[in-house]
Amino acid sequence: MLAAGCSAPGPVAVPQARLAKTYHSMPAAPLPLQRESVATTLAEYRHEFARLLHAANPGLVYDGPPPNPVRGVIVMRAEIDALGEMRRLELFRGPGHAPWLEQLVAQTVRQAEPFPRPSAKLLNGGGSVVFIETWLFDYEGRFRLRTLSQAQAEPPDEPQEEEFR
């Protein structure tokens, strides 16, 4: 009798309905997880974001320096969570003469999602990374992100006025 008290208890039967309920009450997680970013600074993460966004929208990105003048400038605040999902996208400045450019910005971001998971070092107290990015548009509706942009092109030559005598 004493020996029976020291033995390990046998398996406990758990009703099948209880297992199913426990399993289905767990939140769904996107699998597989996105790759983790190699960026160690916010500037590096912005570059990684910009390269990914350009790669996902090749026909919409112009080559070379921004035209002078640009057609439009849109400033965006992005918040990306720890899983690489866009938590919030806010447009701070957009061209009033071409509101369709704002829709194009949202479309280019959706095309590039999901983003690399920010490293724990880059996450703020809310479990996300927040940064500002700027879209520069040419007159054909193509863009380039300021983070990956070259110096702006020289302005076009103005016609010279002839002197009258």
Q: What is the pLDDT along the chain (165 residues), one digit of tens a residue?
A: 445 555 444 444 444 444 333 444 444 555 577 788 989 999 999 999 999 999 999 999 999 888 888 888 999 999 999 999 999 999 877 777 778 888 889 899 999 999 999 999 999 888 999 999 999 999 898 999 999 887 776 777 766 555 555
Of 95, 97, 103, 123, whose CA–CA distance to 37 is shortest?
123
Is the bond into 32 cis (omega within 30 degrees of 0)? yes
Q: Which amino acid is at 112?
A: A
> What global pTM score does this model have?
0.70
Q: At what angle do helices 42-56 and 100-112 cross, to 10 degrees?
A: 100
∠ CA(139), CA(51), CA(131), 5° rounding?
90
CA dihedral 62, 66, 113, 34 (to 10 degrees): 100
Give the CA distances from residue 29 to residues 1, 32, 34, 83, 85, in Å, rounded to whole numbers and listed in that order. 49, 9, 11, 10, 12
List 117's β-bridge partners, or say none: 36
> 141 in the Ramachandran plot: left (φ > 0), alpha (ψ -120 to 50) or beta?
left
Supply the pLDDT for residue 65.
86
